[in-house]
Amino acid sequence: MKFKLFIIVLAISLVACKSSSEEKISTPTTSTKVIHRVDTKTFAKTIEELPDEQIVDVRTPGEFAEGAIDNAVNMNYHDSDFAEQAVGKLDKNKPVMLYCAGGVRSAKAAKILKKQGFTQIYDLEKGYSSWKK
C-alpha cells in the first residue's frame, strides 16, 4: 500500500514538474530593459551608431558652460520641472543619451525619464569626468 502511494505521488510530481518546465520554455525571454548604464567607450560608440540620439547633459548650466559633449542639450536635473522639460523637449521614442559629472544625477534622471515613458535610455556610467580624460 505504501509503495502504491509512493508511485502515485512520484507520478504526480513528475507531471507537475513537466508542466512547469513547459511553461518556462514557452515564455518569451526578450529583454525589456529601458535603461542601459554604459561605460565611456560604449557611450561614444552608441552616439556614433544611433541616427537619432538625443544627448542630454543633466548638470547645472555653470558646469555645462565649462565643457560638454558635442551636440548635447542642457537640462538641469535639479530644476523642479526637470521631468516636464524632458517631456516637452525630447522625443520619447528616440534614444536618450544622459550624463552628468560623475554618474549619480544622470542615473536618477534616467529613472525619471523611464517613468515618463521614454523607451531607450543610455546613462554614462562615470559621467563627463570619464569622458574628457
**Per-residue pLDDT at 28:** 33
Contacts of 94 (CB under 8 A, 6+ apart): 52, 53, 54, 120
Q: Where are the alpha helices (DSSP H) in the chain?
A: 2-26, 40-49, 61-65, 82-89, 104-115, 128-131
In a domain, 81, yes or no: yes
Please count the structural domains in the chain.
1
**Given 100, 107, 109, 110, which residue is catalytic?**
100
Q: What is the CA radius of gyration of the chain?
A: 24
- 58-110 residue pLDDT tens: 999 999 999 999 999 999 999 999 999 999 999 999 999 999 999 999 999 99
In a domain, 115, yes or no: yes
CATH number, domain at 121?
Answer: 3.40.250.10
pTM: 0.75
In a domain, 126, yes or no: yes
In a domain, 21, yes or no: no
- 43-52 residue pLDDT tens: 999 999 988 8
- Go through 6-44 and write b for each residue having 16 or more CB atoms within 10 A of its CB, e for each that does not: eeeeeeeeeeeeeeeeeeeeeeeeeeeeebbbbebeebe
100 has catalytic annotation: yes
Q: Which three cell numbers stand for residue 113?
A: 525619464
Helix/strand/coil percentages in the chain, nearest 5 = 50, 15, 40
In a domain, 123, yes or no: yes
Q: Which three cell numbers stand for residue 116?
A: 515618463
In a domain, 17, yes or no: no
In a domain, 121, yes or no: yes
User: Between 119 and 18, where is the model more confident?
Assistant: 119
In a domain, 120, yes or no: yes
Domain holding 118, by residue range, is 35-131
- Contact indicator for 123, 90 with CB cutoff of 8 Å: no
